[in-house]
Structure 1
Amino acid sequence: MRIKFFILFLLFCVFLNAKDNPFDNNFEQQNTEFAKLSPFQRQDFNFNSNARILKNITITYINLDGSEEQVTLDIHKSINWHDTYSFIKTKSPDATPILDVSVTVPQEQGSKNTKSEENNTTLNIETPLFSGNIYNFLSISFYNNKINIKTEDKMLRNLSIGDPTKIIIDFAKKQNFNTKTLHVNTAKVKKVVFGSHKGYYRLVIYLDGKYDYNYSYSENLHTFNYR
């Protein structure tokens, strides 16, 4: 009798934990929902005629894994209910990249970029926030939500770890060189570290927060779109 009761108990536990199956497609469905949503810009709202003091604002948001969290902003300020109040997205100012002395940037970049920006205004072509040659066999460009890496070397793997996210990329090459660091602080990228290993070299891209990314490849150009 005790054995039957124990078996029933185990079956009950399995049933309760069925929703926590790590191999279900809930995460993929959540990513699809993220892709369909348009970026937040602004939300206006009004109070009723009884309102006099704004005590706090509670914001509920959804994480990459689909879980929900809340953050509460303490305000405690007087308000005029006749006014319209707004929750607005603002853009953080882009910091100036700080380059390692071993990282080279193409000459006359400033004048070329000025002309490119003028042409891009008309042609609506995306201009990188930073672009430079790390070695003669590797160049990298940073955009608002994208990283382009151009090289003829074969990619072995790419993955992301940690929070904040670090994107790790390995390329095949039998060449040794000293580890180099590119301090960027722009395009949501904090820095990039380059180092050689036996038969390959590695790039570690340090982002400023938790991100997911999609990878694509075309004609020696490796593209990482992250959100």
Structure 2
Amino acid sequence: MIRILFISALLLLVLDARENPFFPTGGEKDIPISSNENRSKEPLKRATIALPAQARILQKVTLEYKNLDGTVENKSIELDNSVDWHLPVFVSQNYSEISKTAQLEDKHDKNEVKQKDSAYKTIASIKDLSLLSSGKSLKIVTTDEILRNFLLVHPHRIVIDLKKNEEVKSYVKKDFQNIFKEVRIGNHDGYYRVVVELDGYYRYDLKKVSDGYLIELK
């Protein structure tokens, strides 16, 4: 009897029992715990991101999301595409919204092509000078010589000084639906100044053409 009690006590001492059987032993791998918390949210239809006026190239899109276990991760897609900052960027999981967005993009592309192919529209005109616009192009029709041209900010505007010894009458023309939204012309000693205010941030190229000069925004 004493021997049986001694063996039983010895077995109790060497027995490797877990204090809490609901947790894994040291040799087992941790099991990810998934929360049962109710995290129901409204389904994503469409989110809109407006780009700043100086945006020109979209390089990367990153989405940050929450997993079932509550951890937060992100996934990115590398891009290298030019963008028009006038248009928003959409995030959508709704097929009808995607189709609608594709239609809008197609309409915008067609409008751009149509605008490029269309004749220039006169936005300002005085004696010996006419300004005509088409999309991001501004044609300066004149025989007067450009002395200098430069860009100013706040607001963004192109300044053009043209040589002329006779007085030019002051002139102001506004069209807020145009990229070239305001034209101001003022007289100076030996030249007159044309200021073209833009609807956002741009750089530009200026070149001589047969009937004057051509400005291309970029």
TM-score by length of 1: 0.49
| Higher Cα Rg, which structure | 2
Q: Which runs of 5+ in 2 are unaligned?
A: 1-39, 62-87, 109-113
- Answering whether residue 76 of structure 2 is matched by residue 54 of structure 1, we say no
Q: 1:60 to 1:201 in 2, by over 3 A?
A: closer
Task: Assess if the C-alpha contact under 8 Å between 1:160 and 1:167 holds in 2.
Answer: yes
**1:224 partner letter:** I
User: Where do residues 54-133 of structure 1 align in structure 2 (5 Å cutoff)?
Assistant: 54=44, 57=47, 59=49, 63=54, 83-86=95-98, 87=101, 88-89=104-105, 125-130=117-122, 133=125
C-alpha deviations, 1:36-58, integer Å up to 9, x for none?
xxxxxxxxxxxxxx995128747
What is residue 45 of structure 1 aligned with on the other side? Answer: none
What secondary structure sits across from 1:158 in the alignment? strand
In the alignment, residue 128 of structure 1 is paired with which amino acid?
A: Y
Query: What SS class does the counterpart of residue 187 from structure 1 fall into?
Result: coil
1:192 to 1:153, Cα distance in 2 relative to 1, 3 A: same
- Aligned partner of 1:203 in structure 2 is 194
TM-score (norm 2): 0.51
Query: 1:145 Cα deviation (Å)?
Result: 1.1
How far, CA to CA, are the matches of 2:121 and 2:180 in structure 1?
Answer: 11
The letter for the 2-side match of 1:53 is P
- Is 1:129–1:141's contact at 8 Å kept on the other side of the alignment? yes
RMSD over equivalenced CA pairs, Å: 3.9
Equivalent runs, 1:1-227 vs 2, <5 Å: 53-54=43-44, 57=47, 59=49, 63=54, 83-86=95-98, 87=101, 88-89=104-105, 125-130=117-122, 133-135=125-127, 137-227=128-218
Q: How many residues are paired up?
A: 139
> Measured at CA, do residues 177 and 69 of structure 1 come closer, stay the same or move farther in structure 2, by a change above 3 Å?
farther
Tell me the percent identity: 23
Shift of 1:154: 1.0
The Cα of 1:187 is off from its aligned counterpart by 3.1
Once the two structures are overlaid, the 10-residue window that deviates more, 169-178 or 201-210, is 169-178
What runs of 5+ residues in structure 1 fail to find an aligned partner? 1-49, 92-120
Question: What amino acid is the match of 1:162?
Answer: V
Q: Is the 8 A contact 2:172 2:183 kept in 1?
A: yes
CA–CA distance in 1 between the matches of 2:148 and 2:203?
16
